[in-house]
Amino acid sequence: MQSYLTLKYKVNALALPTPRALVALRRAAIRLPVAVPTALTDNGRMTTERIEVTRTIAAEPAAVFAVLRDPQGHVAIDSSGMLQSAEGEPVSKVGDSFVVHMDRESLNDYPELGRYDVTVVISAFDKDREIAWKIVGQIRPPIGHVYGYQLEPVDAGTLVTSFYDWSDIDERWRAAGIFPVISEGALRATLGILARTVARGWPTSAAAVS
């Protein structure tokens, strides 16, 4: 899940302290690593509340989408190492969900959190064109940020846009001042792994028996 990308502070792992604790950290001058909203180069773009990165993958949209709708595909393209495994069937509509088993030690920022589960809930689904999701876990209120992909057929295959959107987050999290929590580089890394995964063929034998 791209979302599920390598960061020192990873909100989608649902391991953040409370908003009150975050404010305390800021007051203590402990700076959380966040990306600065500036113009991105080449095929990356950031607005004040959304990051998008694009890459052309040499495959039909259906082949790319098959990875993105599959819980095992999310594990396969994770660039952080946090996603250890997943349970559930490939999604087919808004509201579908699956469980991902996480391991915080992969980031080594809060290794004491160990292993825990999060639920991916699909918030947008347009077969072979778009998929997006939110993360549900232990923290309250839910954060409300969105991860997703948009696919467009092109002569060379599929133009894939990976995006992270925090425009609709809960106001209590917005007040914490920590967004965005992922960078252009993090999104781009997962796109690279996605391209490699599709090129190898999906599902792989390992995913088929998971």
Tens digits of residue pLDDT in 184-202:
888 999 999 999 999 999 9
Q: Output the CA torsion sign for 92, 193, 106, 163.
A: negative
CATH of domain 11-204: 3.30.530.20
How far is CA 195 from each of CA 108, 124, 157, 190, rounded to the nearest angstrom?
A: 27, 22, 11, 9
pLDDT at 122: 98
Indicate whether 22 pLDDT > 60.
Answer: no
Domain boundaries, the chain: 11-204
Cis peptide before 180 (omega within 30 of 0): yes
Q: Other C-beta atoms within 10 Å of 141: how many?
A: 11
Tens digits of residue pLDDT in 146-159:
999 999 999 999 99
